[in-house]
A = this chain, B = another copy of it.
């Protein structure tokens, strides 16, 4: 079953205009259908899904179930691939805290794309941006999170031969020449309109977007020929790519293509899972007991009493526990059954929470082991193949 693109959030508040999506802030219950209109992106159609299936033999659950729901030129990248032009993948992470399960989803999908399309991947850590944005954030803090986040990225299982991690402050010499080419073509007016900069924005933040745009053109430089790039990332990063696409032509490069994901909600409410509300996020470094506790305190789509739930049914699409199970641990069939049972009042929230805990506890135990192993191979993944300090 394919769920509507405007999922639980929209169902709960279809007339609610009260949401904000920028690269630095996601607030409120996001209406993804409206976001497609607002950002001017394309919805992922059945035709596109069939195209993917014709090339890979299958449709990844995150595409089929609508977690990746929007794109720009994803079809074009696939056409290019069919004609023998390989594409690079490019995605990133702002190291402002530890990694939680919400972060892993686009990365897991990126690894899937890497495997299926035999694609090289650039993975950027924007430690400069996170330092510039957080008024009280120290360089030491972003340095530490950068290292910790790299362990999570490697633990995803990317191919070390085909993956290079770029840390902005470490590898700036590779980005800066391209970034100045981009920056020269973007006026303050444009940047203000795209990113919402004001007079009180610091000039580091104003100068930053070209640094995030630069890896879109790096593959063409590495390969010595114009090279398509596909960016799997949450939709809040779209302003960067809108800006980048505007200058690509003038610089003689292909426009970077994107496939946009929704945000995985936190356990506390629908919305983007946030590191700044740690009690509502399952971190990859959480102990199993902590995971158990967070899951048992989770917000659900349930009714106030068992009797009411049996009578009225509950709101699966507005329940973060449902979505965690759907994207991480249930098969599609299990998830569809769960939704029907939930809606009809034949499933209580305690049961779903127990299922989630049963999946999430071994998940973090296993992931922590992979993070430990990652420590030995960090240098292999770095852009310059030099180690990075813990």
Contact = CB atoms under 8 A, between A and B. Distances in A.
Interface stretch (A66-74, A187-195, A303-311): A187-195
Given A200-B189, A203-B207, A203-B210, A176 B184 contact: no
A200 B179 CA distance: 18
Nearest to A201: B188
Interface residues of A, number: 38
A31 to B, nearest CB: 30
B198 A188 contact: yes
Given A172-B173, A191-B203, A198-B188, A180 B128 contact: yes
A329 interface: no
A21 interface: no
Q: Report copies per complex.
A: 2
B209 A203 contact: yes
Interface in A163-217: 169-173, 176-177, 179-189, 191-192, 197-210
Nearest to A168: B176
Contacts of A128: 176, 180
A358 interface: no
A97 to B, nearest CB: 18
Given A128-B176, A172-B173, A176-B172, A203 B186 contact: yes
A162 interface: no
Contact of A187 (B180, B181, B201): B201
B176 A199 contact: no
Nearest to A200: B187
Nearest to A209: B203
A12 interface: no
Nearest to A132: B184
Contacts of A203: 183, 186-188, 191, 206-207, 209-210
B207 A184 contact: no
Contacts of A189: 199-200
A131 interface: yes
Contacts of A182: 204
Given A187-B199, A207-B208, 17 more contacts: A128-B180, A131-B180, A132-B183, A169-B180, A179-B204, A180-B204, A183-B204, A183-B205, A183-B207, A184-B202, A186-B202, A188-B200, A188-B202, A189-B199, A192-B199, A206-B206, A207-B207
